[in-house]
Amino acid sequence: MGFLKASLFISLDGVIEAPETWHFPYFDDQMGEVVGGLMGEAEATVIGRKTYDDFAAYWPDADPSDPTTDLMNNARKYVVSNTLTDPTWQNTTVINGDIAAELTRLKETTKLGTTGSASLVRSLVEQGLVDELHLLVHPIIVGHGAKLFTDGETVPLKLLSSTAFDSGVLHLVYGSADPE
C-alpha cells in the first residue's frame, strides 16, 4: 500500500516562498535526517508545474559529485499540470485531467512524496489526498512572501507527532482528522 506525504519548510508566519533565503541557518543534522528519510522512503515525487520548471532547469546540469543530483535526476517524477505536454527531464510523467483520481490510483501501489509546490500541496490537503503533512516550522518571521494556506477550505487535521530540534525548528506531522 502506498501513501502521499507532503513536506515543506515554513516560517512562523506561514511563508513557504523562497526558503533558500531564510532556511539554511536552521538546517542541521536533525533536519537533514528528517528530509533524507522522507526522500528515501518515497518511490516517486509529485510536483507542480512551477517547481518542475525550476528543478528541471537546475538538476540535469547540477554538480554530479553531489549525491542529491543523482537522486533528483533518477527519481520517478509526476508533474501535475494541464499545460505541460512534453517533459524533458528524465523519468517524468505528466498528470492532468482528473488529478485526484490519478493520484488516488497511484497511492494504491506507490509511496509518493512532494517537495515544494505549495499550491499543489494546498489543493491536495483540501481534497484529502495527503496522508501526512510534514511541516518544518522555522523560528523566523519572514514578513513577506507566499504562504502555504490562504483563503480556502476548512480542513481539520490531527497532530500525529511533534519534534523540537536543537535549532528551534519544529517538525510537525499532521494527518486527516477522524470524522466525528
The Cα 14–Cα 169 span in angstroms is 13
pLDDT average, residue stretch 107-126: 91
Domain 3-176 is found in CATH 3.40.430.10 = yes
pLDDT average, residue stretch 111-123: 90
Q: Give the distance from CA 47 to its chain's centroid.
A: 7
The lowest-confidence range among 94-98, 116-120, 161-165 is: 116-120
Q: Which residues contact 77 (CB under 8 A, 6 or more apart)?
A: 44, 45, 46, 47, 52, 89, 91, 92, 93
Q: Is the Cα torsion angle 43, 49, 50, 52 positive or negative in sign?
A: positive
For 49-88, how does the pLDDT look when each residue is reduced to its tens digit (9 = 90+)?
999 999 999 999 999 998 888 888 999 999 999 999 999 9
Give residue 180's pLDDT band: very low, low, confident or very high (50, 70, 90).
low
Q: Is the pLDDT of residue 117 over 90?
A: no
pLDDT average, residue stretch 81-107: 94
The Cα 21–Cα 105 span in angstroms is 36
For 130-158, how does the pLDDT look when each residue is reduced to its tens digit (9 = 90+)?
999 999 999 999 999 888 888 778 899 99
Q: Percentage of residues in the chain with pLDDT exceeding 70?
A: 98
**What average pLDDT is seen over the chain?**
91
Note the pTM of the prediction, 2 decimals: 0.90
